[in-house]
Protein backbone atom coordinates (compact mmCIF):
# COMPACT_ATOMS: atom_id res chain seq x y z
CA UNK A 1 0.00 0.00 0.00
CA UNK A 2 1.27 3.47 -0.87
CA UNK A 3 2.26 5.72 1.99
CA UNK A 4 1.58 9.39 1.59
CA UNK A 5 4.39 11.76 2.48
CA UNK A 6 2.48 15.02 2.16
CA UNK A 7 -1.06 15.80 3.26
CA UNK A 8 -2.79 19.01 2.21
CA UNK A 9 -5.77 20.06 4.37
CA UNK A 10 -7.96 23.07 3.68
CA UNK A 11 -9.33 24.88 6.71
CA UNK A 12 -12.90 24.12 7.78
CA UNK A 13 -15.91 26.44 7.31
CA UNK A 14 -15.15 29.99 8.41
CA UNK A 15 -17.50 32.92 8.87
CA UNK A 16 -18.47 34.99 5.84
CA UNK A 17 -15.65 37.34 4.85
CA UNK A 18 -18.06 40.09 3.76
CA UNK A 19 -19.82 40.10 7.10
CA UNK A 20 -16.68 40.02 9.24
CA UNK A 21 -15.65 43.41 10.63
CA UNK A 22 -12.06 42.50 11.57
CA UNK A 23 -8.98 41.64 9.57
CA UNK A 24 -9.28 38.57 7.34
CA UNK A 25 -6.43 36.87 9.21
CA UNK A 26 -8.62 36.96 12.37
CA UNK A 27 -11.76 35.48 10.80
CA UNK A 28 -12.68 32.42 12.89
CA UNK A 29 -14.35 29.13 12.07
CA UNK A 30 -18.11 28.93 12.46
CA UNK A 31 -19.53 26.64 15.16
CA UNK A 32 -20.09 24.06 12.41
CA UNK A 33 -16.51 24.57 11.24
CA UNK A 34 -15.20 23.93 14.75
CA UNK A 35 -17.22 20.70 14.99
CA UNK A 36 -15.96 19.71 11.55
CA UNK A 37 -12.33 20.38 12.57
CA UNK A 38 -12.79 18.04 15.55
CA UNK A 39 -14.24 15.30 13.31
CA UNK A 40 -11.51 15.77 10.69
CA UNK A 41 -8.90 15.41 13.44
CA UNK A 42 -10.46 12.15 14.69
CA UNK A 43 -10.61 10.72 11.17
CA UNK A 44 -7.10 11.71 10.12
CA UNK A 45 -5.45 10.80 13.42
CA UNK A 46 -6.46 7.19 12.86
CA UNK A 47 -4.67 7.22 9.50
CA UNK A 48 -1.49 9.16 10.24
CA UNK A 49 1.26 7.49 12.22
CA UNK A 50 4.28 9.28 13.64
CA UNK A 51 6.51 10.93 12.79
CA UNK A 52 4.29 13.71 11.50
CA UNK A 53 5.19 17.36 11.14
CA UNK A 54 2.11 19.64 11.23
CA UNK A 55 2.34 23.18 9.86
CA UNK A 56 -0.42 25.74 9.47
CA UNK A 57 -1.11 29.12 8.00
CA UNK A 58 -0.94 31.81 10.69
CA UNK A 59 -4.56 32.78 9.90
CA UNK A 60 -6.97 31.95 12.73
CA UNK A 61 -9.29 29.68 10.72
CA UNK A 62 -6.38 27.48 9.64
CA UNK A 63 -4.95 27.33 13.16
CA UNK A 64 -8.40 26.41 14.53
CA UNK A 65 -8.58 23.57 11.99
CA UNK A 66 -5.04 22.35 12.69
CA UNK A 67 -5.26 22.59 16.49
CA UNK A 68 -7.51 19.56 17.06
CA UNK A 69 -5.36 17.51 14.68
CA UNK A 70 -2.18 18.48 16.52
CA UNK A 71 -3.82 17.41 19.78
CA UNK A 72 -5.10 14.13 18.32
CA UNK A 73 -1.67 13.30 16.87
CA UNK A 74 0.23 14.47 19.95
CA UNK A 75 2.47 16.74 17.87
CA UNK A 76 3.22 20.45 18.09
CA UNK A 77 1.53 22.82 15.67
CA UNK A 78 3.91 25.12 13.85
CA UNK A 79 2.62 28.30 12.23
CA UNK A 80 4.35 29.29 9.00
CA UNK A 81 4.07 32.67 7.30
CA UNK A 82 4.67 31.00 3.91
CA UNK A 83 1.23 29.36 4.29
CA UNK A 84 -0.70 32.65 4.52
CA UNK A 85 -3.08 33.17 1.57
CA UNK A 86 -1.21 34.02 -1.62
CA UNK A 87 2.22 32.99 -0.35
CA UNK A 88 2.44 29.45 -1.77
CA UNK A 89 2.52 30.74 -5.35
CA UNK A 90 6.19 31.62 -5.03
CA UNK A 91 7.20 28.47 -3.16
CA UNK A 92 9.78 26.47 -5.04
CA UNK A 93 9.29 22.71 -4.90
CA UNK A 94 12.92 22.31 -3.83
CA UNK A 95 12.14 24.48 -0.79
CA UNK A 96 9.14 22.30 0.02
CA UNK A 97 11.33 19.21 -0.33
CA UNK A 98 13.53 20.61 2.43
CA UNK A 99 10.50 20.77 4.72
CA UNK A 100 9.49 17.10 4.30
CA UNK A 101 10.61 14.97 7.25
CA UNK A 102 13.20 12.38 6.18
CA UNK A 103 11.10 9.45 7.39
CA UNK A 104 7.66 10.83 8.07
CA UNK A 105 4.82 12.99 6.89
CA UNK A 106 4.23 16.68 6.47
CA UNK A 107 0.68 17.95 6.98
CA UNK A 108 0.00 21.42 5.60
CA UNK A 109 -3.15 23.28 6.70
CA UNK A 110 -3.95 26.24 4.51
CA UNK A 111 -6.21 28.02 2.06
CA UNK A 112 -7.65 27.92 -1.44
CA UNK A 113 -6.79 28.40 -4.21
CA UNK A 114 -3.22 28.01 -2.93
CA UNK A 115 -3.49 24.35 -1.92
CA UNK A 116 -5.07 23.25 -5.21
CA UNK A 117 -2.45 25.16 -7.16
CA UNK A 118 0.30 23.53 -5.09
CA UNK A 119 -1.29 20.10 -5.63
CA UNK A 120 -1.25 20.69 -9.38
CA UNK A 121 2.41 21.67 -9.32
CA UNK A 122 3.26 18.62 -7.20
CA UNK A 123 1.41 16.40 -9.67
CA UNK A 124 3.57 17.75 -12.48
CA UNK A 125 1.35 20.39 -14.08
CA UNK A 126 3.26 23.43 -15.23
CA UNK A 127 0.25 25.61 -16.04
CA UNK A 128 -3.51 25.58 -16.16
CA UNK A 129 -6.11 24.56 -13.63
CA UNK A 130 -5.33 21.90 -11.07
CA UNK A 131 -7.18 18.59 -11.43
CA UNK A 132 -7.82 18.76 -7.69
CA UNK A 133 -10.08 21.24 -5.90
CA UNK A 134 -10.14 21.27 -2.12
CA UNK A 135 -13.45 22.19 -0.55
CA UNK A 136 -13.56 23.46 3.02
CA UNK A 137 -12.21 20.72 5.28
CA UNK A 138 -11.10 18.47 2.39
CA UNK A 139 -7.78 16.63 2.59
CA UNK A 140 -5.54 14.91 0.10
CA UNK A 141 -2.49 12.70 0.39
CA UNK A 142 0.46 12.64 -2.00
CA UNK A 143 3.43 10.33 -2.22
CA UNK A 144 6.79 10.62 -3.92
CA UNK A 145 10.05 12.44 -3.55
CA UNK A 146 10.65 16.13 -4.06
CA UNK A 147 11.79 17.72 -6.17
CA UNK A 148 9.99 15.66 -8.75
CA UNK A 149 6.51 14.64 -9.58
CA UNK A 150 4.36 13.27 -6.79
CA UNK A 151 1.38 10.94 -7.08
CA UNK A 152 -2.12 11.47 -5.66
CA UNK A 153 -2.85 8.66 -3.19
CA UNK A 154 -6.21 9.85 -1.84
CA UNK A 155 -8.61 12.79 -1.81
CA UNK A 156 -11.11 12.81 1.04
CA UNK A 157 -13.93 15.36 1.13
CA UNK A 158 -14.90 16.86 4.47
CA UNK A 159 -18.24 15.05 4.49
CA UNK A 160 -16.53 11.67 4.20
CA UNK A 161 -13.97 12.56 6.87
CA UNK A 162 -16.81 13.53 9.21
CA UNK A 163 -18.54 10.20 8.56
CA UNK A 164 -15.31 8.25 9.09
CA UNK A 165 -14.77 10.01 12.41
CA UNK A 166 -18.11 8.75 13.68
CA UNK A 167 -17.90 5.15 12.46
CA UNK A 168 -18.85 2.81 15.32
CA UNK A 169 -15.97 0.48 14.39
CA UNK A 170 -13.46 3.29 15.07
CA UNK A 171 -14.76 3.84 18.60
CA UNK A 172 -13.79 0.32 19.70
Give pLDDT tens digits for 130-142. Answer: 788 999 999 999 9
Give pLDDT tens digits for 142-153. Answer: 998 776 688 999
Q: CA angle at residue 64 from 105 to 150, to 5 degrees?
A: 25
| pTM (predicted TM-score) | 0.91
Q: Answer for the pair 39, 166: CB distance below 8 angstroms, yes or no.
A: yes
Strands in 151-156's sheet, in edge-to-edge order, are 77-79, 52-56, 105-110, 6-10, 139-143, 151-156
What phi and psi, each to the nearest 5 degrees, are found at residue 55?
-125, 150
Check whether domain 6-14+23-171 has CATH 3.90.420.10, yes or no: no
Amino acid sequence: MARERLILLRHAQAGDAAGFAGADRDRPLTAGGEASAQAIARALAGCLSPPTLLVSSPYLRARQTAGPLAEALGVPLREKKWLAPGQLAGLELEALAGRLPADGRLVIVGHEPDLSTLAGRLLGLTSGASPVRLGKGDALGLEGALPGQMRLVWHLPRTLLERLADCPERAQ
